[in-house]
Chains A and B, each alone.
Chain A
Amino acid sequence: MEQNRVVVTGLGTVNAIARSVPEFSSALQAGRCGIGPVTVFDTAEFRTHNGGEVQQFAPREMIPRPYSLKRMSRADCMAMAATVEALNDAGLFAAPDKLRGEMGVVIGGGAGGMLECEAVYRDYLLGTGRGLAYSRFASFCCASSADQIASQLRIRGPKTTFMTACSSGATAIGYARDLIQTNMAPVVICGGTEPLCRITYAAFNALQAVDPEHCKPFDKNRQGLSLGEGSGVMILEALSHARQRGARIYGEILGYGVSCDAHHMTAPDPEGAGAALAMRRALEDAGVSTEAVDYINAHGTATPANDLMETKGIKAVFGRRAYQIPISSTKSMIGHTLGAAGAIEGVAAVLAIHHHFIPPTIHHQTPDPQCDLDFVTEGARASDINIVLSNSFAFGGNNTAVVFGKFADSGVTHA
């Protein structure tokens, strides 16, 4: 149905290997590694020291005046920078007031303003706070990023924030599409943002889920994830609205699916049943067959449990076809950006479609007989892609899968 189609008309990102979308596209094709020593806080006391940090992040260079950086956390600034890029990319940065009055903002969050509040909290606990900088708590909630974007850009449509840990960004994209399909907004700014911070770093270290070097998704010797940070934002738009203003169309959101493992708070269902349910629901929602999927952007955190269950889940959904689909984990390059992961990976999926390539899984050296699919370990591949399935799985058993497609006027590419 023409009126129900939702397309991607703008992209924005900052992450460990890029501070813009063109940079991200070339870094993905080059298989660049952004995982190295963490500098946003002192890691001396921690078990591990590496992460996918956004290098030399200078918000003022990316967020033009008169937009204020006052009381904005690192997470807020990254989301705002990605939003500015995405809106410019979509030709909507100077959108008319009428459109701003209807535009929505849906962000997936993680630690929010935790990085900035940790210092205040430490002072509070140690009783050393001379003048506790409580004003920093203005940006503490994950909601702060969406609030800043909407308030500074004077947007009045639906606004919300999801926090489903590592699937927040994917859920935000799925919900943004629903808002457009149900006529709640013609255009929605959606995505996710996540800062590196001590609490998160300590939490994953306490779970012994962090690879001290860099993550090695689907490798036999994988030891855990690398934490990362960044933001991914996309502009979703009703097809009719995009056509009317002659917008460039990157691709289409074809469907999404959500499920819950109902198994364990931090460990995934070992058989991947919840993951498979989310993938099936996304494909069903999109109306695409397993045969039509050309590439899977895996959750691929590189924890022993995730990669095994994800492999099993993909096999359960795709059967024999699982062995023929290229699958990669872009986390091998930027780390696991938690609340932003589904959004940054969504940007990667759309770039793969638009620029005809499949991003690689880097750092993969030793094949795992239990993870025996095509993980694109030799480097990026040139390939014409029509349909991408992007997986995001999270603590709490929160699974989300999103299906992206190449845009075709007839709307039948994925039949």
Chain B
Amino acid sequence: MLRRVVVTGVGLVTPLGVGKDVFTRQLFGGFSGIRPITLFDTTRFDAKLGAQIRDFTPQDFIRPATLRRMDRLSQMATAGARMALDDAAFQIGPHNRDRVGVVLGTCFGGTDVAAQFGKVLFTDSPRRANPILVPNVVMNAPAGHAAIELGVRGVNTTVNHREVSAETAMAYAAAEIMRGRADVILAGGGDIISEFYFNVLTHFRTLSPQKGGMEELRPFDAQRNGTIVGEGAGIVCLESLESAEARGAIPYCEIAGWGLSAAPAGPNDWPTDPIGPSLAMTRALAAAHIDSGEIDYVSAAANGGRRSDRIEAEALGGVFSSPGRQPRVSAIKGSLGEGFSSGGIRAAAMALSIQNRTLAPTLGLSQPLAPLNFVLNAETQVAIRYGLLNGVSSGGTFAAVIMKKIG
């Protein structure tokens, strides 16, 4: 018998602020986290903007002994995990610590540490490479650090599959709880902005401005010209419904199902047709045992990318084609930038939307490229029974997660 999985907490370290209260005010208030980048000098780049995390004091969430061993991404993820656990009011003790896990997704990992380590290796000598940095060069460092800080010995896994890492991590975590292998899993993901990757993304023409336009992130817009980088970590506390009920916790929502798919694409490139994202969404609908007309709201992955936004819009138009039952659609990367492993932050935002009955706006969208039912300005008093979180990734990987209001 498969168990039901619910979201009982959210943890957020984002460009819109830290913690769910400030995040909620900012996101649903229509504010943007995009500013000039200060992490490094952008003089030599066309792109100057990014959505950096702000007002983050890791000491507020992490003990000094663990904190001093952590890289920036691990700090963000661990603080997010702590916040999600506190938000869920879940107490960890010797009796339950083996049944609590951490499953995170990251696209690039702690690239700042890898760069620091590589710098000594390549400009000096491998013999002087710093052993202190080694633990944080590996992609699974954030999940490992979070487990040490929280003292939890349950399932611990890291998904490293480009922009759908966090969505896939949440699907994996939900499956582990469903099968009874864990009672609580802190799931989600994060990435950081780093100079080296800014170079690489510039080379691949991922970043706005392209073709001499303004530097803007315009999801699903006919005039979109590339994305703007973001960073941050978003963690949701996933819990078995029976565990939540036993301790009297009131969940935000339930994980009703998910779908994963692949579609042929060139290396690091996008498929030419919308079959991939359509398959992930239809598989998620089948897993949740609902039809497309029952989805009230879609949190899209669109980031201003010229090809990715188009195939996502085509897939949404194709899957949600029941007359009169088109879901509302917003793309919150207009506020957050492309955070790569953004699925955790977007899942937390979806949980808040369901609970607070509010829809976040799609900043930057003025001329929609397709006739979808877009949310242009924040809306309140909107009942969401089923919400769909969509994830798309270069290389042709797709993930959709359906979140459902309980009761």
State which residues 132-171 of B face A: CB under 8 Å: 134-141, 143-145, 147-148, 150-162, 164, 168
State which residues 124-175 of A face B: CB under 8 Å: 124-126, 132, 134, 137-144, 146-148, 150-152, 154-165, 171, 175
Decide yes or no whether A25 CB sits under 8 A from chain B. no
| In the complex, number of A-B residue pairs with CB atoms less than 8 Å apart | 243
Q: Which of A203-211, A220-228, A407-415 contacts B (4 or more CB under 8 A)?
A: A203-211
Which chain B residues border A124 with CB–CB below 8 Å?
196, 199
Q: Is the CB of B276 within 8 A of A258?
A: no
With A125-B118, A260-B155 as given contacts, are A141 and B160 in contact (CB-CB < 8 Å)?
yes
Which chain A residues border B393 with CB–CB below 8 Å?
143
Which chain A residues border B269 with CB–CB below 8 Å?
138
Decide yes or no whether A45 CB sits under 8 A from chain B. yes
Q: Which of A263-271, A290-298, A302-310, A313-321 contacts B (4 or more CB under 8 A)?
A: A263-271
Q: Is the CB of A160 within 8 A of B161?
A: yes
CB nearest neighbor in B for A140: B200
Decide yes or no whether B321 CB sits under 8 A from chain A. no
- Cα of A156 to Cα of B283 in the assembled complex, Å: 12
CB nearest neighbor in B for A208: B131
Q: Is the CB of B158 within 8 A of A163?
A: yes
Decide yes or no whether B234 CB sits under 8 A from chain A. no
How many residues of chain B have a CB within 8 Å of chain A? Answer: 77
Q: Is the CB of B160 within 8 A of A118?
A: no
With A105-B262, A163-B139, A259-B156 as given contacts, are A143 and B175 in contact (CB-CB < 8 Å)?
no
Which chain A residues border B358 with CB–CB below 8 Å?
none
Q: Which of B8-16, B80-88, B122-130 contacts A (4 or more CB under 8 A)?
A: B122-130
CB nearest neighbor in A for B131: A206
Decide yes or no whether A397 CB sits under 8 A from chain B. yes
Residues 89-133 of B, flagged 1 when their CB comes within 8 A of A and 0 if not, give: 000000001100110000111000010011101110111011100
Which chain A residues border B181 with CB–CB below 8 Å?
257-258, 281, 285
Partner of B160, one of A143, A158, A175, A266: A143
- Cα of A161 to Cα of B158 in the assembled complex, Å: 9
Decide yes or no whether B29 CB sits under 8 A from chain A. no
CB nearest neighbor in B for A150: B262
Which chain A residues border B25 with CB–CB below 8 Å?
none
Q: Is the CB of B397 within 8 A of A143?
A: yes
- Cα of A394 to Cα of B122 in the assembled complex, Å: 26
CB nearest neighbor in A for B398: A159
Decide yes or no whether B396 CB sits under 8 A from chain A. yes
Q: Is the CB of B160 within 8 A of A265?
A: no
Q: How far is the CB of B283 from chain A (nearest CB, A)?
A: 8
Decide yes or no whether B381 CB sits under 8 A from chain A. no
Q: Is the CB of B144 within 8 A of A398?
A: yes
Which chain B residues border A45 with CB–CB below 8 Å?
125-127
Residues 165-198 of B, flagged 1 when their CB comes within 8 A of A and 0 if not, give: 0001000100110010100000000000000100
Decide yes or no whether B267 CB sits under 8 A from chain A. yes
- Which A residues are closer than 8 A to B by beta carbons? 45-47, 70-72, 104-105, 109, 118, 121-122, 124-126, 132, 134, 137-144, 146-148, 150-152, 154-165, 171, 175, 178, 182, 184, 198-199, 201-203, 205-208, 257-266, 273-274, 277, 281, 285, 394-398
Question: Beyond A163-B140, A261-B147: 17 further Cβ-contacts under 8 Å?
Answer: A71-B267, A125-B118, A142-B160, A144-B268, A151-B264, A158-B261, A158-B262, A161-B159, A164-B157, A199-B121, A258-B101, A258-B155, A260-B102, A262-B151, A264-B148, A281-B181, A398-B140
